[in-house]
Amino acid sequence: MPPAAAPTRCLVLWFPDWPVTAWRLAEDAPPADAVAVVEANEVVACSTAAYGEGVHPGQRRREAQARCPELRVVPADRLRDERQFAPLVDRVEQVAPGVQVVRPGLAALRVRGPARYYGGERQAATALLDGLDDLGGGGRAGVADGIFTAEQAARDADPILVVPGGGSADFLAPLPVSRLGDAELAGLLPRLGIKRLGDFASMDARQVRDRFGDRGVRLHDLAGGRDSRPVTARTPPPELARQIEFEPALTLADQVAFSVRATAEDFVAGLAAANLVCTELRVHLLAEEGEHCERVWLHPACFDAAAVVDRVRWQLQAAAGTVIGSGLVRVRLEPVAVDAISHHAAGLFGAGADEKVHHVLSRVQAMLGHEGVVTPTIGGGRWLAERQVLVPWGDRAVLPRPAGRPWPGSLPDPLPATVFADRRRVEVTDANGARVGVDDRLLLTGTPAVLAIGAARLRLAGWAGPWPVAEHGWDPARATAGCRFQVADDTGGAWLLVLDADGWWAEGRYD
């Protein structure tokens, strides 16, 4: 084993309970709520309010909810943590270069340069924290020899703690062994009578190796303030997002589409320079009066400049008049998902059949709008129209109701070949012309004899029903109730009818 290098002087920025902060930043939630981020039924992080109620990391979810009934439980999302931490890292890099992201919520950098520039380690830490003030997070800074010691200093900081050079061992000595972050040692050492890092550090290194192996030796070094890990500064990633500002604000979608073309080309070229293509794109529109509209667009293959411009236009057309009421001042294009460009290169002998299909369907989509070309998917539900979900070409199918459930009350085969998206108004009468209805006991008030659709009057040759369907009886906003009937007319047609509080409707036609 090579001799351990002397620990470098480090500054660590620590953001307590970062998963909670990240969720709050992503959801724009108020900071006062009791929130717990939970992974595998165990609390990973929780907010100050939740701490106050007795919730703490490592607790089981049910126990946390018992302690604090109003606790808001949020599933852990590593990507969200990373995404929300990125702007902070960017800001830190503006103040001092060479940042290592240890994990989301914990960043380290070599302090020598900033300390010299800002006139002292404390001043450098103050400058960094001041720079992050407006991004939220409530960061703390610790300065010490080595990342581990600096992290421990940041945990005890309020909000800055500087451990003088060479004082690591003295600083760490009174801390509990659980600070090593190793569950096995944290459980075992106190039972051996070793409760503080100082006790552990004073053990003989050979004995530690014999008992705990290499990992034990490493932790033993950490406890003694001999953290040999250097700070590995990250290379700032290339800026792939692009934006364009309009001055004065643009009011016509065509103007925007025309102006955004160059930006879109730049966006695609920037990705291509990094050997990437964009498969998922976030378009952010900002209008003059502060309204904004954001949407993620998918592409079955990858976005080229024209496809990006189309998405901007569609989003603008959908948002105009509803979400956005004034002129547009900014369009921002961000890649959400990228793929290696080599996966999307055209084949040597031309593109495959599906590629051609995609090109043509995209062209029709550009002609008619995003919803112009759809593929059907079957979802769950009881009514025919809500079971068939039309997914715009290129989008991911999102089923509002899961398809795999039994859905009692849904119809078996054969099903109507014609399903009216908006039910048609019809009328069913008995032989005397009186309207047929059902009473509270689902008994018919007459025998259906005539079906009137618009001006046409069809004599019924057979009928079956009523089959009651009642949904969401507990929620007045979503509640639907009705009785289904199948009727066959004497011209050879058959209909699926619904009788609800508003009268008779045709849901579908068997043709």
Partner 1 sequence: MSVRAAELPSRDALQQLVRAKAGTAKVHHLVPVHPALAPLLPDGGLRPGAAYSVTGGALLLTLLAEPSAAGSWCGVVGVPELGAEAARSAGVALDRIALVPQPGERWLSVVAALAEVLPVVAVRPAGRVRDADAARLAARLRERSCVLLVCGDWPRVEARLAVDEARWEGLGEGHGYLSGRDVVVSVATRSTATPRHVRLVLPDATGRLSAKAPGTGPVELRAVG
Least Cβ distance, residue 382 to partner 1 (angstroms): 12
Q: Does 341 bind partner 1 (CB under 8 A)?
A: no
**Does 381 help bind partner 1 (rule: CB under 8 A)?**
no
For 254, the 3-state DSSP assignment is: helix
- CB-nearer residue toward partner 1: 135 or 378: 378
Contact between 377 and partner 1 (CB under 8 A)?
Answer: yes
CA–CA dist 362, 237 (Å, integer)? 32
The SS3 of residue 262 is helix
How many Å apart are CA 250 and CA 252, to the nearest integer? 6
| Nearer of residues 98 and 372 to partner 1, judged by Cβ | 372
Cα–Cα dist 169/262, whole Å: 58
Alpha-carbon gap, residue 204 to 220, rounded angstroms: 9
How far apart are CB 493 and partner 1 at their closest, in Å? 7
Residue 499 interacting with partner 1 (CB under 8 A): no
Stretch touching partner 1 by CB under 8 A, among 242-250, 277-285, 308-316, 480-488: 480-488
- Single residue of 135, 262, 378, 456 touching partner 1 by CB under 8 A: 378
- Give me the helices (H) in 247-326, please: 253-273, 305-319
Among 57, 452, 493, 505, binds partner 1 (CB under 8 A): 493
Q: Residues 363, 401, 405, 425: which binds partner 1 (CB under 8 A)?
A: 363
State how far the alpha carbon of 236 is from the alpha carbons of 97, 99, 240, 379, in Å. Answer: 9, 9, 12, 44
**123 versus 410: smaller Cβ distance to partner 1:** 410
Task: Single out the residue of 421, 455, 477, 501 in contact with partner 1 (rule: CB under 8 A).
Answer: 421
Q: What SS3 state is found at 299?
A: coil
* Shorter beta-carbon distance to partner 1: residue 241 or 357: 357
What end-to-end distance do the CA atoms of the chain give, in Å? 81
462 binds partner 1 (CB under 8 A): yes
Which of helix, strand or coil describes residue 91? helix
Give the three-class secondary structure for 310. helix
Question: By CB under 8 A, is residue 486 in contact with partner 1?
Answer: yes
**Whole-angstrom Cα distance, residue 137 to residue 15?**
6
Q: Does 445 bind partner 1 (CB under 8 A)?
A: no
Per CB under 8 A, does 412 bind partner 1?
Answer: yes
- Residue 356 binding partner 1, by CB under 8 A: yes
- Smallest distance from partner 1 to CB 454, Å: 15
Q: Which of 192, 336, 357, 481 binds partner 1 (CB under 8 A)?
A: 357
Query: In Å, how far are 165, 212, 217, 265 from 4, measured between CA atoms?
Result: 17, 19, 12, 51
Minimum distance, C-beta of residue 502 to partner 1, in the bound complex (Å): 20
Residue 465 three-state SS:
strand
Q: In this structure, are residues 499 and 437 in contact, taking their beta carbons and an 8 Å threshold?
A: yes
* Candidate ranges 218-226, 286-294, 310-318, 387-395; the one touching partner 1 (CB under 8 A): 387-395
Name the DSSP class of 499: E
Binds partner 1 (CB under 8 A): choice among 1, 40, 79, 353: 353
Judged by CB under 8 A, the number of residues near partner 1 is 49
Q: Dump the DSSP string for 129-155.
A: HHHHGGG-S--EEEEEESHHHHHHHHH
Task: Supply the minimum distance, in Å, between the C-beta of residue 430 and partner 1.
Answer: 12
With CA atoms as reference, report the closest residue to 365 among 396, 395, 393. 393
Of the pair 267, 314, the CB lying nearest partner 1 is at: 314
Q: Is 414 in the site for partner 1 (CB under 8 A)?
A: yes
Name which position in 52, 213, 376, 503 contacts partner 1 (CB under 8 A): 376
Cβ closest to partner 1, residue 177 vs residue 494? 494
**Beta carbon nearer to partner 1, 172 or 411:** 411
Binders of partner 1 in range 248-277 (CB under 8 A) = none
**Is the distance from CB of 41 to CB of 73 less than 8 angstroms?**
no
**Identity of residue 136:** G
Pick the binder of partner 1 from 447, 456, 468, 479 (CB under 8 A): 447
**For residue 361, what is the DSSP state?**
H
Among 274, 306, 320, 361, binds partner 1 (CB under 8 A): 361
Q: Which residue carries 């990240």 as its tokens? A: 22
Quick one: which H or E segment has residue 190?
helix 183-191
From the list 44, 46, 42, 90, the residue with the least C-alpha distance to 68 is: 46
DSSP SS3 for 75: strand
Q: Do residues 302 and 277 lie in contact, with contact meaning Cβ atoms separated by under 8 Å? A: yes
- Indicate which single residue of 148, 246, 463, 504 sits in contact with partner 1 (rule: CB under 8 A): 463
Q: Which of residues 80-99 bind partner 1 (CB under 8 A)?
A: none
Task: Give 335 or 465: the residue with its C-beta nearer to partner 1.
Answer: 465
Binding site for partner 1 (CB under 8 A): 353, 356-357, 359-361, 363-364, 367-368, 372-378, 384, 387-388, 390, 393, 412-421, 444, 447, 461-465, 486-488, 492-494, 508-511
